[in-house]
Amino acid sequence: MSAGHSAADEAARYKLEAEQADFVAQTAREMHRRYSAAADSEARLGKLLEPLESQGFHVLSDRRWPGSRNGNVDFVVVGPSGVTIVDAKSWGDVHVGQDHVYQGQDDVTDRFSNLADLSRYAEAALAEIGLAPGEIRVVAVFMGQRGLHGRVAGVDLISEDAALRYLLGRGSRLRPSEIRLVHGVVEEIFLPMAIRDRPVELTMPDVVVPTTLQQALISVGEIEQALLAGVLTKPVEDWMAFLHPDQARLARRSFNGPSRIRGAAGTGKTVVGLHRAAYIARTRPGKVLVTSFVRTLPVVLSALMARMAPEVSGRVEFTGVHAFALDVLKSRGVSLSLDGAKADKAFDGAWSAVGKDSVLGRIDPRKDYWKEEVIGVIKGRGLTNFEQYAGLARVGRKRALTTEGRTAVWALHSAYDVALRAAGINDFADVILLAEKSLRAHPLEGYSAVIADEAQDLTCAMVRMLHALVGDAPDGLNLIGDGQQTIYPGGYTLSEASVSIAGRGVVMTKNYRNTIEIADFAASIVAGDEFMDIEGLPSLADVTSEVVRHGAKPRVSRFSSREVHDRAFIQQVRSLISAGTSGGDIGILAHTNYAADDVIKALTAEGIPAINLHDYDGRTTSSIKVGTIKRAKGLEFKQVIVVRTPAKLLEAPGDQVEAAIAERRSLDRRELYVAMTRARDGLWVGVA
């Protein structure tokens, strides 16, 4: 090789080394700039958060990422508004759009996944002491920015100017005693950084290794007592949104397909469903549908959600199952004409023409029984031919039917269908069947989960319709309910609806609502009653493992006339109010709309404010709540007054009762059981 060539090579090598040195130096300067900017942003945000200390907040700064040697958490704020994990960002040229974060032209959304993981870790750890998942938030604050707002992967994104409003905007959600409990455990979870040479971005930590929560500062029993003592004194609406420590883990549990949560009355199924809806809305894209057969319940739950989790309430849709189906049909231009009076007339005409003088009239002359068969059993499943009905196991129906009897029922169903079409009207069963058919043909996008409360009261077609929204997606279909509280004729099994919950069923066994005295008395009403559960097996009531509170014994008062009875329940109301119970915490429940109307008239005549459950929207009120037992499903009251109860429902069922009568009486007893178990602290039953 020539000397000249060697000199040229040497010069090129020196040039390359110089360029590499410049690159390293430039990279080092850039890294130093970034770390300095991160440190400056963290310090500036710390100054911004200082005023929170005077408002009852604890601001923990520079904490260790659980399980990591180097990863740090900029701030963890614990206070009246809950727990907030705060990450300071010094990014420039950042914007949020369509669930993505961009820095310049680069999509940096993935950099927030670890923050979301940290949120889930904190939720799981704090659930051990009973903190609901909805009380934990993660926020990235972009320092030096204004007007930035968004949310990705369960992480809120805000600009510097909105930080204090964000932390204070939720109001007071934790009491001082609860803040102390949570603060102590948060300090155990997020340990201080012992030594740190430079700040490390929260979104780029070392691999997180699961750690074991250190021993709690106080016992679980003391935590439960502290939480219960506070919420018991608040309006009943606060109680209805209260998540007991044992329930917090279930609210955020993940299932790899359709699931079911069941348990006896008072075990907290509805509140778990409510918090579960909030949790899924925070952690999944799309909307969450919360629905029920009872129209009042979704309205009330919507108000509770707006109070407990306003940041996600816009992504959770609350509506009755029929209202949802009607909206689907309306949005798709499917016309129908609902007219209850004309539908009743159509059935009466069909009964007179083909039912009354047939074998059905000889089996049971009451047309209502056969109307339940047509609406609940046949149309509730969407059966389209006699062969389907001929071999059907009629879940929930105690009277056996021969082939002759089933043929006559099908003829009645056909005559009723013809009469509806001739009148140009539909019944409510048609609404569900039409919506299900439409959704099967053209699926509706945008829903990540469905939570169906009081699922045992739905029909098979309703479950199929809801299943069509989310299919078998993880955490998609969530069925919540208790077969013991079935109060409508007919029934279904999940296998009929082509829904499998294999390995995804949870039974709640601890009664948080009722006192031992109320729970035992209510259970005695339905003791020994067998029902067909939606999982397809004959069942008795789920047994509670524990009832956590004692109280006054329920009172049953018997009267010789309705007039004397009504004067007595007015006196009972006055006694409760005189003893300090707010009118809004009292529920008066009746078996019929007629009786409920009478109660409101009687209260109004006495100058006592009352509100019909038809009009109750879940907001705190001082008016006594009055309605039918069916309207009260899923609701709770501190004191319950059950009026005009038939004496036979409090008597032991006889052995020689005709099957149809036994079926009806069993449903009526379960309805009375529902009424009694709405009571948290006290129960009065009037028998006229």
Averages of pLDDT over each 10 residues, the chain, 688 residues: 54 55 46 50 82 81 83 90 90 81 84 84 86 88 85 86 83 83 89 56 34 37 58 84 79 93 92 93 92 93 88 92 96 93 96 96 92 95 96 87 96 97 96 96 95 95 97 96 83 92 92 94 87 77 81 95 96 97 97 96 97 94 96 96 94 67 84 96 96
The distance of Cα 530 from the centroid of its chain, to the nearest Å, equals 28
Residue-range definition of the domain harbouring residue 151: 37-189
What pLDDT is stored for residue 226 in this prediction?
A: 55
What pLDDT is stored for residue 227 in this prediction?
A: 56
Q: Are 77 and 118 within one domain?
A: yes
- Residue 546 within a domain: no
- Residues 685 and 277: their CA atoms lie apart, in Å, by 35
Q: Are 314 and 385 within one domain?
A: no
Q: Are 167 and 64 within one domain?
A: yes
Sign of CA dihedral 178, 184, 186, 189: negative
Task: Give the number of domains in the chain.
Answer: 4
Q: Are 312 and 363 within one domain?
A: no
- Residue 222 within a domain: no
Q: Are 49 and 167 within one domain?
A: yes
Can you give the CATH number for the domain in which 71 is found?
Answer: 3.40.1350
Instruction: Mark which of 539, 564, 590 sits at the end of a domain.
Output: 539
- Residue 578 within a domain: yes
Q: Are 527 and 560 within one domain?
A: no
- Residue 216 within a domain: no
- Nearest Cα neighbor of 318 from 177, 452, 153 is 452
What pLDDT is stored for residue 200 in this prediction?
A: 34
Can you give the CATH number for the domain in which 560 is found?
Answer: 3.40.50.300
609-614: long-range contacts (C-beta < 8 A, 24 or more apart)? 609/583, 610/583, 613/296, 614/296
Backbone phi and psi for residue 61, each to the nearest 5 degrees, phi listed first = -110, 155
Q: Are 439 and 306 within one domain?
A: yes
C-beta of residue 623 within 8 angstroms of C-beta of residue 610: yes
What pLDDT is stored for residue 38 in this prediction?
A: 54
Q: Are 479 and 534 within one domain?
A: yes
- Residue 212 within a domain: no
DSSP state of 374: I
What pLDDT is stored for residue 211 in this prediction?
A: 31
What pLDDT is stored for residue 228 in this prediction?
A: 65
Q: Is 210 exposed, middle or buried (0-12, 13-18, 19+ CB in 10 A)?
A: exposed
Q: Are 672 and 594 within one domain?
A: yes
Q: Are 361 and 328 within one domain?
A: no
Sign of CA dihedral 434, 440, 445, 450: positive
- Residue 183 within a domain: yes
- Residue 115 within a domain: yes
- Residue 227 within a domain: no
- Nearest Cα neighbor of 628 from 671, 687, 667 is 671
Q: Are 565 and 530 within one domain?
A: no
Q: How crowded is residue 53: how many other Cβ atoms within 10 Å of its Cβ?
A: 12
Q: Is 218 exposed, middle or buried (0-12, 13-18, 19+ CB in 10 A)?
A: middle
Q: Are 135 and 64 within one domain?
A: yes
What pLDDT is stored for residue 144 in this prediction?
A: 82
Half-sphere exposure of 490 (CA within 13 A, CB side): 22
Instruction: Mark which of 389, 424, 459 sits at the end of a domain.
Output: 424
